[in-house]
Structure 1
Amino acid sequence: MTFEPFTFQPFIYQALKESGFVQPTEVQEKLIPLIQKKRNIIGQSQTGSGKTHTFLLPLIDQIETDKKEVQVVITAPSRELAEQIYQAAKQIAAFAPNEIRVSKFVGGTDKQRQLEQLKHQQPHLVVGTPGRILDMANENALLIYKSKAFVVDEADMTLDLGFLPEVDQIAAKFADNIQMLVFSATIPERLRPFLKKYLTHPIIEEIKPQNLLSETIENWLISTKGKDRNQLIYQLLTIGQPYLAVVFANTKEHVDEISEFLQNQGLKVAKIHGGIPSRERKRVMRQIQHLDYQYVVATDLAARGIDIEGISHVINAELPRDLDFFIHRVGRTGRNQLKGTAITLYEPSDERAINDLEKLGIVFEPKEIKQDEIVATYDRNRRQKREKTEEELDPEMIGYVKKQKKQVKPGYKKKIKQEINKSNQEKRKLERRRQQRSAKKQKKDFNR
Structure 2
Amino acid sequence: MNRIQEIMKIEHFKEMTPIQKAVLERKNKNRDCIGISSTGSGKSHAFFMSIFDCIDIESQETQAVISAPTRELAYQLYERCKKIADHFQVKVKLVTGGMERTSSKIQAQIVIGTPGRMKDLFINENTLRLDTAKIMIIDEADMTLEYGFLEDIDIILSNMDKKIQMMVFSATIPQELQPFLKKYLTNPEIIQISSDEDFQSDVKHILVSCKHKDYKERLLDVLPCINPYVCLIFANTNSQAKEIASFMREKGYDLTELHGDLESRERYKSIKTIQEQKKTYIVASDVASRGIDLEGITHVISCGFPKDLNFYIHRAGRTGRVNRDGICIALYQENDRKAIKSLENKGIHFEERDIRNHQLIDKKSKVMKKKEDPIADDIARIKSKKTKVKPNYKKKQKEEIDRLRRKKRREMIRNDIKRQQKERAKQRQMEKRS
Relative to the length of structure 2, the TM-score reads 0.56
Aligned-pair distance for 1:173?
Answer: 2.3
Q: Which amino acid is the alignment partner of residue 54 of structure 1?
A: A
Evaluate the alpha carbon distance shift between residue 367 and residue 130 of structure 1 in structure 2; reply closer, same or farther with a 3 A threshold: same
Aligned-pair distance for 1:149?
Answer: 0.9
Matching of residue 208 in structure 1 with residue 204 in structure 2: no
Residue aligned with 1:227, SS: helix
Is the Cα contact below 8 Å between 1:71 and 1:125 reproduced in 2? Answer: yes
CA distance in 2, matches of 1:23, 1:360: 30
CA distance in 1, matches of 2:179, 2:337: 33
Is the Cα contact below 8 Å between 2:121 and 2:128 reproduced in 1? Answer: yes
Q: Which has the larger radius of gyration?
A: 1
Deviation string 1:5-43 (CA, Å, 9 cap, x unpaired) is x961524532x33xxx65544323322333992321023
Matching of residue 124 in structure 1 with residue 109 in structure 2: yes
CA distance in 2, matches of 1:34, 1:214: 27
Evaluate the alpha carbon distance shift between residue 91 and residue 152 of structure 1 in structure 2; reply closer, same or farther with a 3 A threshold: closer
Matching of residue 13 in structure 1 with residue 9 in structure 2: yes
Evaluate the alpha carbon distance shift between residue 341 and residue 52 of structure 1 in structure 2; reply closer, same or farther with a 3 A threshold: closer
CA distance in 1, matches of 2:338, 2:39: 12
Deviation string 1:307-362 (CA, Å, 9 cap, x unpaired) is xxxxxx9323569x99768446313565xxxxx56243656799999999878755
Evaluate the alpha carbon distance shift between residue 163 and residue 354 of structure 1 in structure 2; reply closer, same or farther with a 3 A threshold: farther
Residue aligned with 2:25, SS: helix
Residue aligned with 2:299, SS: strand
Evaluate the alpha carbon distance shift between residue 298 and residue 202 of structure 1 in structure 2; reply closer, same or farther with a 3 A threshold: same
Aligned-pair distance for 1:180?
Answer: 0.5
1:152 counterpart (125, 132, 138): 138
2:80 counterpart (86, 91, 105): 91
1:100 aligns with: 91
Comparing 352-361 and 226-235, the one that deviates more: 352-361
CA distance in 2, matches of 1:69, 1:223: 56
Aligned-pair distance for 1:249?
Answer: 3.8
2:231 counterpart (241, 248, 254): 248
Matching of residue 232 in structure 1 with residue 222 in structure 2: yes
Q: Describe how 1:410-425 pairs up with structure 2 within 5 A.
A: none
Evaluate the alpha carbon distance shift between residue 223 and residue 101 of structure 1 in structure 2; reply closer, same or farther with a 3 A threshold: farther
Q: How many aligned residue pairs are there?
A: 316
1:134 aligns with: 119
Aligned-pair distance for 1:200?
Answer: 2.5
Relative to the length of structure 1, the TM-score reads 0.54
Is the Cα contact below 8 Å between 2:231 and 2:301 reproduced in 1? Answer: yes
Evaluate the alpha carbon distance shift between residue 327 and residue 159 of structure 1 in structure 2; reply closer, same or farther with a 3 A threshold: closer
Aligned-pair distance for 1:275?
Answer: 4.6
Aligned-pair distance for 1:137?
Answer: 0.9
Root mean square deviation of aligned Cα: 4.9
> Among the aligned pairs, what percent are the same residue?
27
Q: Describe how 1:175-324 pairs up with structure 2 within 5 A.
A: 175-184=161-170, 185-188=172-175, 191-208=177-194, 213-214=200-201, 218-222=204-208, 225-227=215-217, 229=219, 232-237=222-227, 246-249=229-232, 261=253, 274-275=272-273, 297=280, 304=294, 314-316=298-300
Question: Structure 2: which 5+ residue stretches go unaligned?
Answer: 235-244, 255-270, 283-287, 304-310, 365-434
CA distance in 1, matches of 2:57, 2:181: 30
CA distance in 1, matches of 2:107, 2:66: 15
Is the Cα contact below 8 Å between 1:103 and 1:127 reproduced in 2? Answer: yes
Q: Which amino acid is the alignment partner of residue 95 of structure 2?
A: K
Aligned-pair distance for 1:64?
Answer: 4.3
2:242 aligns with: none
Residue aligned with 2:102, SS: helix
Evaluate the alpha carbon distance shift between residue 70 and residue 361 of structure 1 in structure 2; reply closer, same or farther with a 3 A threshold: farther
Aligned-pair distance for 1:151?
Answer: 1.6
1:28 aligns with: 20
2:386 aligns with: none
Residue aligned with 2:217, SS: coil
CA distance in 2, matches of 1:297, 1:220: 20
